[in-house]
Amino acid sequence: MKIGIGYDVHQLVPNRKFIIGGIEIEYEKGILGHSDGDVLTHAIINALLGAMGLGDIGQYFPSSDIHYHNILSTNLLKEIKALLDQNQYQIVNIDTIIICQNPKLSPYYQSIKHNLAQVLNMPIADINIKSTTTDNLGVIGQGLGIAAQAITLLAKTI
């Protein structure tokens, strides 16, 4: 068994899409990033890579590489799923938390879980999505940013 933890944070800005777990949410601001800025998917990628002992998201998908500009982060997650399979790991579970003041994300939990479960070819029941605010404190509380954390448990399949 292997445990991994991941974290990501991005700025919220006008004129960008707000994508979380591969789901586009209608909101006045979007997530700034070299890719689509999907902090949740990035945190999950970092957790999975960490559990396998294979570094971090920047080593595989550097922001200096134009190929990844505006790419859907769920496409990157598919590549990490291939690494899991290649290294003979199965995801036991993923637990996440998204930290943002707005928008309220609870209405989207099921859609996010369903999308991530499809990408990772795993049971939806083994993915947990939560969110919290910072009670208006700091840059996240002021609506200037968004962050996510993820933790995962992997098991060797051999």
Measuring CA to CA, which residue among 28, 58, 19 is closest to residue 148?
19
- Residue written as tokens 């003979």? 88
Q: Which helix (DSSP H) or strand (DSSP E) does residue 81 occupy?
A: helix 73-86
Q: Which residue ranges form the domains of the chain, and what is each CATH number? A: 2-156 (3.30.1330.50)
Residues 130-148: pLDDT tens digits?
Answer: 999 999 999 999 999 999 9
Q: pTM for the whole thing?
A: 0.97
3-state DSSP assignment of residue 25: strand
Residues 60-86: pLDDT tens digits?
Answer: 999 898 999 999 999 999 999 999 999
Per-residue pLDDT, 25: 96
Distance CA 116, CA 140 (A): 24
